[in-house]
Amino acid sequence: MDEMKALSTFVRVVEAGSFRRAAIEQGVTPQAASKLVKQLEVSLGVRLLHRTTRQLSLTDEGQQLLQQARTGLDTLRTAIDGVKASRADKGGTVRVTAPRSTRATLVLPLVAAFLAEHPDTRVDLTLDDQFTDLVAGKIDVGFRSGATLDRNLVARRLMDIQLLVCASPAYLARHGHPRTWDDLARHTCTGFRHAQTGKQMPWEYLDGDATAYRDVPAAFVTNDVDAEVQAVLSGIGIGQLPSYLAQPLIREGQLVHLLTRHTSARVGLFLYYPQRSHQPARVRAFIDFAAARLR
């Protein structure tokens, strides 16, 4: 027996004054409504209603249950209505996760613009270079770079990320420009250690139309992309950096883009979330805003 349904039917029968009218309101047959109330009486071990062919009346136990059930059902309806209203309301908190390297050039400018348009919404941002389990972390939306994401997630590719081989003008003045990939063996390079595996990432490049990979010996290795950018800027060596960090520095003359015809753009920045349906309005608004702004 569905106790909540049986309680609701009992209250409806009393308020309507008959099983027939209560059944019509609930979209069931009078026999089904009567059966539910009888099952409730059996479960409780007391009679709740006096029944005659013409009228219904409450027993003392029925009167006691009616008062308590009405209060409980009213509280439940209020809670349900509140959740429905909050789903349509853009107020509340959007919980977001993103890699640390995206915060300055991508995520924080996006969040600032979003909050300017949605002042009733709050954003709780967690910076984490490891892939975040949205459900376990109670996260609404995540940003992640890569070629693909888990098929169990809804993922939208927002932008391509080129992997740019760069060096500072000072480094190139001292050591010269590499002209081919083989020339890199004669240069000092930097490397990035993957947050999930702990292994140094091979450099990725285009060899004709095909994507190729090469392990580049590195004098400096880090698990922080921002630290690698700073190492390249300081002249430690040549590095392969994501375009969203390197391109502004190239435009400003702080970095020089090398081996340009081998640049790979297989990787992208993705927005991912657990499901499409039943999203609060604030989460839907953030997803749509991010997709429109970063495309």
Q: pLDDT tens digits for 193-219?
A: 987 788 999 999 998 888 999 999 999
Percent of the chain beyond pLDDT 90? 49
What is each CA distance from 44 to 22, 34, 64, 67, 119, in whole angstroms?
21, 15, 13, 16, 51
Domain ranges of the chain: 3-88, 160-268
Higher-pLDDT residue of 154, 89: 154
**Quick one: CATH architecture of 160-268?**
3-Layer(aba) Sandwich (3.40)
Q: In angstroms, rounded to a whole number, what is the distance separating the alpha carbons of residues 140 and 282?
A: 10
Average pLDDT of 91-97? 91
The predicted pLDDT at position 265 comes to: 84
Please report the pLDDT score of residue 172 as a whole number: 97
Three-state DSSP state, 53: coil
In this predicted model, which residue has the larger pLDDT, 96 or 11? Answer: 96
pLDDT of residue 69: 79
CA distance 9 to 248: 66
Predicted confidence at residue 95, as pLDDT, reads 94
- Amino acid type, 59: T
Round the average pLDDT of the chain to a whole number and report it: 87
Give the pLDDT mean for 106-118.
94
Q: For position 277, what pLDDT does the model report?
A: 67
Locate all alpha helices (DSSP H) within the chain, ordered by sequence. Answer: 3-16, 19-26, 30-44, 60-88, 108-117, 134-137, 169-175, 225-233, 243-251, 281-294
Per-residue model confidence (pLDDT) at position 276: 62
Cα–Cα dist 122/90, whole Å: 10
Nearest to 225 by CA among 147, 129, 97: 129
- The answer, yes or no, to whether residue 87 has pLDDT greater than 60, is no
Q: What is the CATH number of domain 3-88?
A: 1.10.10.10
Nearest to 244 by CA among 134, 118, 129, 104: 104
pLDDT for the residue numbered 64: 83
pLDDT computed for residue 80 by the predictor? 66
Instruction: Say what the pLDDT of residue 88 is.
Output: 56
Using CA of residue 230, residue 267, residue 161, residue 163, what is the dihedral sign? Answer: positive
